[in-house]
Amino acid sequence: MTALKFKTNLKCGGCVSAVQPKLDALENVEKWDVDLASPEKTLTIMGNIEAQEIVQAFEQAGYKAEPQ
């Protein structure tokens, strides 16, 4: 299992709620968390997943995620 970190454009809990179904639907994701207090709004994902899958899930929800 690996940890991937992403800079996101999420701003609030509502934004997190919008991407939650997309992230929860991804296979091989053990857990994930968004730190809205950090300036980069950092998303940390634990699992066996490719960064591009996360970027695509965010795009489908109307948001952006950039690997750190």
What is the structure's pLDDT at 20? 96
Q: In CATH, what number is assigned to the domain containing residue 23?
A: 3.30.70.100
- Specify the number of domains making up the chain: 1
CA dist list (Å): 32 to 7, 18, 26, 61: 13, 14, 11, 16
pTM above 0.95, yes or no: no
What is the structure's pLDDT at 10? 97
What is the structure's pLDDT at 22? 96
Q: Which domain holds residue 10?
A: 2-67
What is the structure's pLDDT at 1? 80
The 10s digit of each residue's pLDDT in 4-63 is: 999 999 999 999 999 999 999 999 999 999 999 999 999 999 999 999 999 999 999 999
What is the structure's pLDDT at 25? 94
The sign of the torsion formed by the CA atoms of 21, 66, 36, 29 equals positive
